Amino acid sequence: MKKVFYLFGLMALFYGNQLVAQDNPCGVEGVVVEASNYQYAPAALEIEAGQTVAWVNVGGFHDVNGVESSIGENWNNPETFSTGAVTGNMEGVCIGTHTFTVEGTYDYDCSIGNHAANGMVATITVNPAQMNTTVVDIIVNSEDHTLLEAAVVAAGLADALSGEGPFTVFAPTDAAIVALTEALEITADELLALPNLGDILQYHVVGAEAYSTDLSDGQEIETLLGENVTVNITADGVFINNAQVTAADVAADNGVVHVIDAVLLPPAPPTNTVVDIIVNSEDHTLLEAAVGAVGLADALSAEGPFTVFAPTDDAFTALTEALDVTVDELLAYPLLPAVLQYHVVGAEAYSTDLTDGQEIETLLGEDVTVSITTDGVFINNAQVIVADLAADNGVVHVIDAVLLPELEEETTVVDIIVESEDHTLLEAAVVTAGLVDALSGEGPFTVFAPTDAAVVALTEALEITADDLLALPNLADILKYHVVGAEAFAADLTDGQLIETLEGSNVTVSITADGVFINDAQVTVADLEADNGVVHVINAVLLPPTTDVTELTSFELSIYPNPVHGGTFTVCGAWESGASIEVFELTGRKVFETTSTQTTVIVSTDGWEAGSYAVRITDGARTATRLFLVD
């Protein structure tokens, strides 16, 4: 047994600063010194600050005295230490332990009898502890990597990267991480909370030691994530993917760190959602466009499960031909989101789950009906031509027709005006004044709608053209004087009643034997009901009390040719540089806009439908508007 403990002592000398756990009677991790036969073995020991020495008595009666020499030697120990005496045996008995934290040389002896005089003296030299620097230490001690440090801690990778390694770490700076958060429009806290943060960090670490001299152009290196990064070496420097190495070869005891100027983002894992099936299908380009147009892609890429009845391009084309509309018009259809939701079920339904006569509720809340005949499987009247295309979040069935739910399209007060043959000039005025969106809102509104004949009568009385009327700077105020911000049917009106308009001034209701009048304009058709209000047709234009209808635009504006043919037309006028130029369909849809520094602008009508349009030019406080036709 004595030889065993002595061997432990030799191992401590041989391994120097390594603190090895010892199987000794003291029961501590430390370097063992044996006491026996007037000697300590080893008599001269070197350890590192922080290490523990355990003295074991394997024969005789001994202590450890590091306070004052028993034989008059001159000691200068950095600190004192001592233990009581014990009787030893061949199995070994613990005399005591001491942990040396102060560097220096320590002398000690056995103070029992004449043991010291007979040579039982020894020394311990305590050297500075050697600091192990890991790749984590380099990151923690860097002022430019506080966010990376936080990310490593948040992902629970600090212990792993403090291990034996070796590791190569591509370390993005704080500036690189901030740039990523700004690009993603998220905060640093949100970045640290990403569920795949650990994967992102592992994509920055290689499980081997790669100094700059080990890198070569085009080299691919596998990261801890299992995905490769690519090394590019150019005249501009060394790049890992698209991130430049700004500081190379920062050595650690368990690897090396290279500082980079961008965050490395691992390739997105492949997905197979119902959206992916649609996107990857050559027969569903129009369905893909429709899903994108209404913003359903993210929703249908979620966990699900979903069942999608997917009409082909041929099915969409047949629908556009039946409705006599273009694909663009179909994609702009306000009820398209509802139509698409009618094709999606919020559950997984494979063909084996379908039964004849089954009704299945869609995301729209309306049911589709399954019919199974000798000819095949039908959803409503659309036949399933390819079934059971499995996705990670559901299943897709290809159908040969678009499913159309029974939808009631909302009618607004603007729709009533637009659909009226007697209100083309009022429609143009509403568009020119930019009131279409407002009057298509929730409301409710009451609109007193002058006919075309009423508007023409006003232009003749003022000796101005319809274009001049549309160019009035106070056109919007005149129109607002025709609108009440409440719902007033004929039965709600009383003689002498004053009603405040959106313009802020009142109109007066008069009820006589001749009929109902709003100011001096007679109501010729009452109670045209809309979902957001009511329209009353009147036979004269209502003018607010403060209106100066002779105040026209202060700059000339012309369009040629008018009607427009040949694909382009020219707009010219005396507007100031930087004027805003907009062109609208009379439905209110903007088809062109630009800002011009010139007083002449050429506009292409490519893709426009034939019909009436309005051009509106604004420079500062001045506005000019003109109507024109496109053949």
* pLDDT confidence bin for 10, thresholds 50/70/90: very low
Q: What is the pLDDT of residues 354-379, one digit of tens each?
A: 999 999 999 999 999 999 999 999 99
Assess whether pLDDT exceeds 70 at residue 237.
yes
Q: What is the pLDDT of residues 449-478, one digit of tens each?
A: 999 999 988 887 666 788 888 888 788 989
What local confidence, expressed as pLDDT, does residue 587 receive?
55
Assess whether pLDDT exceeds 60 at residue 16.
no
Share of the chain above pLDDT 70, in %: 93
Residue among 265, 262, 260, 263 nearest 142 (CA):
260
Question: Do the Cβ atoms of 14 and 46 come closer than 8 Å?
Answer: no
Give the helix/strand (H/E) hosting 36. Answer: strand 31-36
Residue among 98, 212, 197, 106 nearest 147 (CA):
197
Q: What is the DSSP string of 273-319?
A: -HHHHHHT-TT-HHHHHHHHHTT-HHHHTSS--EEEEEE-HHHHHHH
What local confidence, expressed as pLDDT, does residue 547 receive?
52
Stretch 37-56: mean pLDDT: 94
Which stretch, 9-18, 206-215, 457-466, 571-580, has highest mean pLDDT? 206-215
On average, the pLDDT of the chain sits at 89
Stretch 549-554: mean pLDDT: 46
Stretch 495-506: mean pLDDT: 93
Question: Do the Cβ atoms of 416 and 537 come closer than 8 Å?
Answer: no
Rounded Cα distance between 630 and 610, Å, is: 5
Q: What is the pLDDT of residues 257-307, one digit of tens each?
A: 999 999 999 987 778 999 999 999 999 999 999 999 999 999 999 998 999
What local confidence, expressed as pLDDT, does residue 17 receive?
36
What local confidence, expressed as pLDDT, does residue 556 receive?
73
Question: Do the Cβ atoms of 32 and 8 come closer than 8 Å?
Answer: yes
Q: Which domains can be identified in the chain, with CATH numbers?
A: 2-127 (2.60.40.420), 135-260 (2.30.180.10), 274-399 (2.30.180.10), 413-538 (2.30.180.10), 557-630 (2.60.40.3080)
Assess whether pLDDT exceeds 60 at residue 184.
yes
Question: Do the Cβ atoms of 79 and 46 come closer than 8 Å?
Answer: no
Structure tokens, 115 = 């043991």
Is the C-alpha dihedral spanning 221, 149, 173, 191 positive or negative? positive
What local confidence, expressed as pLDDT, does residue 20 receive?
41
Q: Which residues have C-beta within 8 Å of that of residue 589, sequence separation ≥ 6?
A: none
- Which residue type sits at 608? W
What local confidence, expressed as pLDDT, does residue 596 receive?
87
Question: Do the Cβ atoms of 181 and 151 come closer than 8 Å?
Answer: no
Assess whether pLDDT exceeds 90 at residue 334.
no
Residue 24, Cβ neighbours under 10 Å: how many? Answer: 21
Distances (CA, A) of 282 to 278, 522, 586: 8, 60, 37
Stretch 592-602: mean pLDDT: 90
Assess whether pLDDT exceeds 80 at residue 21.
no
Rounded Cα distance between 16 and 34, Å, is: 18
Question: Do the Cβ atoms of 124 and 53 come closer than 8 Å?
Answer: yes
Question: Do the Cβ atoms of 615 and 602 come closer than 8 Å?
Answer: no
* pLDDT confidence bin for 1, thresholds 50/70/90: very low
What local confidence, expressed as pLDDT, does residue 457 receive?
83
Q: What is the pLDDT of residues 572-594, one digit of tens each?
A: 988 888 888 988 775 557 889 99
* pLDDT confidence bin for 529, thresholds 50/70/90: very high
Residue among 414, 419, 542 nearest 480 (CA):
542
- Which residue type sits at 289? A
Which stretch, 94-103, 402-411, 606-615, has highest mean pLDDT? 94-103
Stretch 93-119: mean pLDDT: 96
What local confidence, expressed as pLDDT, does residue 140 receive?
95
Assess whether pLDDT exceeds 80 at residue 158.
yes
Question: Do the Cβ atoms of 309 and 395 come closer than 8 Å?
Answer: no
